[in-house]
Amino acid sequence: MSTVSDLIRVLQTLAPPALAEDWDNVGLLVGDRRRPVAKVMTCLTLTPPTVAEAVEHKADLVVVHHPLPFRPVRQITTDTTAGAMLLELIAVGVAVYSAHTAFDSAAEGINQRLARALGLRGVGPLVPREGALGAGRTGWLEEPVPLSELAERAKAFLAIERIALVGDPKHRVRLAGIACGAADDLLRPAIDAGCDCLLLGEARFHTCLEAEAAGITLLLPGHFASERFAIEALAGMLSEQFPDIEMWAAHRERDPLRWVSNA
């Protein structure tokens, strides 16, 4: 039977740790590398519902995108939500692995998939790194399209009903940048690269103002939507490598943001 170590070897091939940002916490975060694995659940974030699903369905390994713990901790107790979740997983022997920014930047990772979905050509890293692919993606469209059309492509691929825009919907886009999740720090590289548009999972208010002043448009589908689709894809990728292991993307995971209309 495959072990946690076997899964880690494949995960590190799909998302090499060298691609992770220096501030990140990737790798095996909880668990025994020698533990046999029969069931694996992928999810974007550890939350009480996803932890409960992993425990109830007897997962041996959870491959989570956002690492927990993220920063060094002094105590792990039930006094905090994070502590309570970790203790619940540890109590039943569930291992936790995170690839996070390594998967963001991987050859078949989140940003690459988003670039492909938008129809970008000549795709490469937005921030190249020596010996690695680098952060974000940039690419060009064979024919410039209005920002509104690019927004519709993003909505269709991500299966969302709403997307926020910064800039004129009629602004024509030829060169676009991609940075999933919360990646405000990639706005400046996108501007320097001459991008007409940057898709960010989410952006701070002042980042939006900076983009507007610089004349670059933004597409903001939301942090959850910009990454969750790839967590589902990851379960499929792992299933191909380990056909005898039950793999699934968490069913109880939801975007915490909701919109209220007057209708």
* Mean of pLDDT values over 211-218: 97
CA distances from 168 to 23, 147, 197, 217 (A): 35, 7, 11, 7
First to last CA, the chain: 54
Record: fold of 107-224: 3.40.1390
| Distance, CA of 54 to CA of 225 (rounded, Å) | 22
217-220 vs 197-202, strand pairing mode = parallel
pLDDT at 132 exceeding the cut of 70: no
With a pLDDT cut of 70, the percent of the chain lying above it is 98
4-103 and 107-224, same CATH topology: yes
158 touches 221 (CB < 8 A): yes
The token duo for 27 is 């790798």
Q: What is the reported pLDDT for 133?
A: 82
User: Which residue is it, tokens 């890293």?
Assistant: 125
Query: Which superfamily does CATH assign the domain made up of 4-103 to?
Result: NIF3 (NGG1p interacting factor 3)-like (3.40.1390.30)
Q: What are the residue ranges spanned by the domains of the chain?
A: 4-103, 107-224
- The torsion of the CA quartet 141, 143, 147, 150, rounded to 10 degrees, works out to -60
Model pTM?
A: 0.93
pLDDT at 184 exceeding the cut of 70: yes
Range of lowest pLDDT (2-16, 25-39, 63-77, 221-235):
63-77
Q: What is the reported pLDDT for 263?
A: 59
pLDDT at 207 exceeding the cut of 70: yes
Computed over every residue of the chain, the mean pLDDT equals: 95
Report DSSP state, residue 231: H
pLDDT at 240 exceeding the cut of 80: yes
Q: What is the reported pLDDT for 260?
A: 83
pLDDT digits (tens, 9 = 90+) for 34-90: 999 999 999 999 999 999 999 999 999 999 999 998 888 888 999 999 999 999 999
